């Protein structure tokens, strides 16, 4: 059976796996973004706190993804929970690091001017600092998303959702007629999803970043 015949025969399952893969990555990125930006906001003003935040989240990335999920299975069981936890933790570093870099890079004179016109600290953060730090933060989100697209495939090890199931089925049946087709279908699906997500981030950047500060 050719690859395209395989895709035609299995299109319903492939579409379901693709949707689950995209949904898992999207939801984990939302959580990772909220956590990452919050950590960045809480630590960027102090050198040691910022370094600790970056070092801590970087340490997570040194744990192999398969080992991470394997460690979470006894605690959370199989399925969605260990997948979401692992992906969220892996997505933190680029967002935390870029949030700190972006917030520290805001022109101090602009912050002083905002203070001079009576803005409170929360108002300065949300109306001046975060909007100006948004370009590097968005870049961090893009990097995290690309990483998680690949890492999410390992979720199949814990009976998680997504295209990794197609890849694992192919690997476990090497030598069979459709083994290569299964691995190829899962891999190409992840690549296409990664490209679509990245295109969406480019569009978001054009819509949310003023032309004057756009890189």
pLDDT at 33 > cutoff 70:
yes
pLDDT digits (tens, 9 = 90+) for 94-113: 999 999 999 999 888 888 88
**pLDDT at residue 214, as a whole number:** 60
> How many CA atoms within 13 Å lie on the side-chain side of 155?
29
- Mean pLDDT for 54-59 is 95
Domain boundaries, the chain: 28-213
What is the rounded average pLDDT of the residues 166-185? Answer: 85
Statement: residue 135 has pLDDT above 80: yes
Q: Lowest-pLDDT range, 42-51, 123-132, 138-147?
A: 123-132
The answer to whether residue 172 scores a pLDDT higher than 60 is yes
Task: Retrieve residue 54's tokens.
Answer: 């970056």
How much is the pTM? Answer: 0.88
CATH class as words, domain 28-213: mainly alpha
Q: Considering only residues 1 and 50, tell me which one the structure prediction assigns the higher pLDDT.
A: 50
The average confidence (pLDDT) of the chain is 89
Question: Where on the phi/psi map is residue 162: left (φ > 0), alpha (ψ -120 to 50), or beta?
Answer: left
What confidence score (pLDDT) does residue 8 get?
A: 87
User: What is each CA distance from 50 to 29, 38, 54, 90, 176, in whole angstroms?
Assistant: 21, 12, 6, 18, 51
Confidence of residue 213 (pLDDT cuts 50, 70, 90): low
């Amino acid at each position: 059976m050719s690859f395209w015949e395989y895709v035609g025969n299995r299109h319903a399952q492939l579409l379901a796996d693709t949707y689950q893969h995209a949904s898992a990555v999207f939801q984990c990125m939302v959580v990772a973004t909220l956590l990452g930006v919050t950590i960045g906001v809480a630590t960027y003003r102090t050198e040691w706190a910022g370094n600790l935040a970056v070092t801590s989240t970087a340490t997570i990335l040194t744990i192999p993804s398969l080992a991470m999920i394997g460690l979470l299975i006894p605690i959370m069981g199989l399925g969605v929970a260990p997948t979401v936890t692992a992906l969220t933790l892996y997505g933190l570093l680029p967002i935390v690091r870029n949030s700190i870099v972006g917030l520290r890079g805001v022109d101090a004179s602009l912050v002083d001017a905002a203070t001079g016109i009576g803005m409170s600290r929360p108002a300065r953060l949300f109306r001046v600092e975060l909007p100006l730090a948004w370009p590097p933060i968005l870049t961090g989100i893009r990097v995290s998303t690309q990483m998680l697209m690949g890492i999410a495939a390992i979720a199949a090890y814990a009976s998680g959702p997504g295209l990794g199931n197609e890849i694992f089925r192919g690997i476990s049946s090497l030598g069979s007629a459709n083994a290569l087709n299964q691995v190829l279908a899962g891999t190409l699906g992840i690549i296409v999803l990664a490209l679509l997500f990245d295109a969406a981030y480019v569009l978001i950047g054009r819509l949310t970043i003023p032309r004057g500060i756009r890189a």
